[in-house]
Amino acid sequence: MADDFERGGSKLYAALARSLADDPLVADIVGDHEPRWEAPLRLFGGVHYLELSGVVQHPWPKLRGVLEANRDWLARFVAEHPVQTNEVQRCWGLLPGFLSVADDRPLDLIELGPSAGLNLFWDDYRYRYGDRIWGKPGAPLELGGRPRAVRRPSCSRSSPPCGGASASTAARST
């Protein structure tokens, strides 16, 4: 899980997950939670909730003590509260579909659901698919990953796959 946090850009969660990976207190709080991948997110979400509600201040440097002092509450939180992530990284997987559907025409996107509108800014990000790049040079956020398909995704039917460093936006949301 720590490696997933690292790849996702959260050095804090990666370091915390590594430091607590074999901690019996964490195992006690998390229990036999299924699916296992959610357990660290639920636990860290519970600690964050404690911080936002004013129960603890600056919990991360003293995390072990926060876990000990709030063991029962955190165990209930982990068991009862689902995970909701707002990760723009999912736009990386949506880009080929957006560009295929748009087919070099403007694309209006309406987002329904709990991702806080982050996907509405998909065309403001820069994307890297191996050695292929799409999006604005100098974008404040670059998303990347490894395609799971055998062949690399084509980012537009009418332009070279994912363009180059100077590729312009083939489809814009309005």
pLDDT by residue for the chain (174 residues), tens digit each?
Answer: 788 788 767 888 889 889 888 899 999 999 887 767 788 888 999 999 999 999 999 998 999 999 999 999 999 999 988 876 667 777 888 888 888 888 888 888 887 766 667 778 888 889 988 888 888 888 888 888 776 654 544 555 444 445 443 333 333 333
The structure's pTM equals: 0.54
On whether the CB atoms of residues 79 and 50 are closer than 8 A, the answer is no
Q: Can you give the pLDDT at residue 72?
A: 95
On whether the CB atoms of residues 120 and 173 are closer than 8 A, the answer is yes
On whether the CB atoms of residues 165 and 127 are closer than 8 A, the answer is no
**Half-sphere exposure of residue 77: CA atoms within 13 angstroms, side-chain side:** 18
User: Nearest-CA neighbor of 164 among 137, 125, 124?
Assistant: 137
Token pair, residue 9, equals 């850009």
